[in-house]
A and B are shown apart, each in its own frame.
Chain A
Amino acid sequence: MKDMYDVLVIGAGPAGSIAARTAAEKGLDVLLIEKRQEIGDPVRCAEGVSKVHLKKYVEIDKRWICSDLNASHIYAPDGTKIEMAEEIAGGEVGYVLERKVFDRALAEQAAEAGAEVMVKTRATGLIIEDDFVRGARLMHLGKEYDVRARIVIGADGVESKVGRWAGIDTSLKPIDIETCAQYLIAGANIDQHHCEFYIGNEIAPGGYIWVFPKGGGKANVGIGVLGSKTGKFKPRPVDYLNRFMEKKFSDARIVEMVFGGVPVSGSIEKTSTNGLMLIGDAARQSDPITGGGILNAMNAGKIAGEAAYAAISAGDVSLKKLEEVYEKPWRETMGHDINMSLIVKNCFINLSDEELNSLAYSLKNVKFERMSLLDLLQALFKANKKLLWDLRVLFKDAAKEVVKNKT
């Protein structure tokens, strides 16, 4: 470890590793730190990811693919089943990863590109001078070090402190977080070609249960519950999950337990300041409906790595510059999708089980392989007029999609 770098990246999840790799590929001097002793472990993820999008950031490697899916099945509270073929379900599912291997492979790629990587190294505070972030205080094996950098990138996940140290309040309200529990189960002989989602206020208030096959008959069976719908005197995610396990997989063996929180707040107001950018879960960039955050984290990492290069070469790492090279590009692309998802989330969390059933019923026989967003909205319209009114802004997007497809 040196005492000065061009870029210091805090946190070696998908966001941090891609940022470090991108910046190092541009020739910058990069340090990537991770507080855990093993990158990627313990896992805090259901590990589902869209195939097409993943390929944009990394070459697919069989070592970290557990299963290759071709459909999702969604179950309404009364058991009504909706089947979605790959093309439309593509959003979040496609591959199920082995994140312990995946996260490590990404960090290794950053190292190969020239970044220095240090594990068991935790940031404990920032060095701030003249209103500029100029590095961080690190703790490695019980000793403290000051490390300076032209740009600091906070990729420290859901428990992010980096933003707060710089005066950006990233704390999540209970309604802004899905609180999760998951078991990796074996011995249940799970079909390996499709994933399942279960929705309903009795099953998973403000969230859902998922079953993601993980190869060899195993699966990640997990639940997310909206933080505002659980609590001290209510069942916890782990209680709902146990109930579901008893009903569906009473013979299965639990070979791993996972807990976690996913931000579903939608875009926050600020993700950079003088000398600092926040990316991935630290910037609350996960999708408010699905809770999927791997791809957004990688996307933000790539944008931030390039932004670091642009800002450092221009000799200007001020907030104004970072707004131009980081904030603007991510908000105009991924940020737009996150905002749309937030609208849908706010609407869905208030639906009763009857409303969910009637929606599912009207979608049951729709052929999803050939469906566009506009078709989906029309089908929804027949089922629930109020829902459609709440989602009216999405029509603008659908209309744009139609125009785009025509030209």
Chain B
Amino acid sequence: MSLKINRYKCGYCGACVGVCPKGALELVETWVEVDESTCITCGICDRICPVGAIEVMK
């Protein structure tokens, strides 16, 4: 897996969902889900997360 979301750290704010150019993320109530088949590991979500709860490995 090239994208890890630390759900113990995540503040479920949805900022990552708003910047994902592929629409690969979704905020479902209190957790973020990723569609691995559409994610292009561009790393933008990792870059803007206010707490650093997402890690994208390129």
Number of chain A interface residues as a range: 35 or more
* CB atoms of B23 and A259 under 8 A apart: no
Interchain nearest-CB distance for A306 vs B (Å): 27
Knowing A236-B49, A236-B52, say if A174 contacts B14 (CB, 8 Å): no
Q: Interface segment, A2-10, A65-73, A157-165?
A: A157-165
Enumerate chain B residues within 8 angstroms of A35, measured Cβ to Cβ.
28-29
B14 interface neighbour in A37, A159, A225, A227, Cβ under 8 Å? A159
* CB atoms of A171 and B29 under 8 A apart: no
Q: Which of A38-65 contact B (CB under 8 A)?
A: 42, 44
Roughly how many angstroms separate A238 CA and B52 CA in the complex, as a whole number?
A: 9
Number of chain B interface residues as a range: 20 to 34
Interchain nearest-CB distance for A84 vs B (Å): 28
Enumerate chain A residues within 8 angstroms of B16, measured Cβ to Cβ.
261
Q: Which of B1-30 contact A (CB under 8 A)?
A: 11-21, 23, 26-29
Knowing A36-B29, A158-B14, A174-B19, say if A238 contacts B47 (CB, 8 Å): no
* CB atoms of A157 and B19 under 8 A apart: no
A28 is an interface residue with CB less than 8 A from chain B: no
Q: Hey, which bits of chain B sit against chain A, CB under 8 A?
A: 11-21, 23, 26-29, 43-44, 46-52
11 contacting pairs across A/B (C-beta < 8 A): A44-B14, A158-B15, A172-B18, A174-B48, A230-B47, A232-B47, A237-B50, A259-B11, A260-B14, A261-B13, A261-B15
**Contacts A42-B12, A158-B14 given; 5 further ones with Cβ under 8 A?**
A120-B29, A122-B29, A174-B19, A237-B50, A259-B51
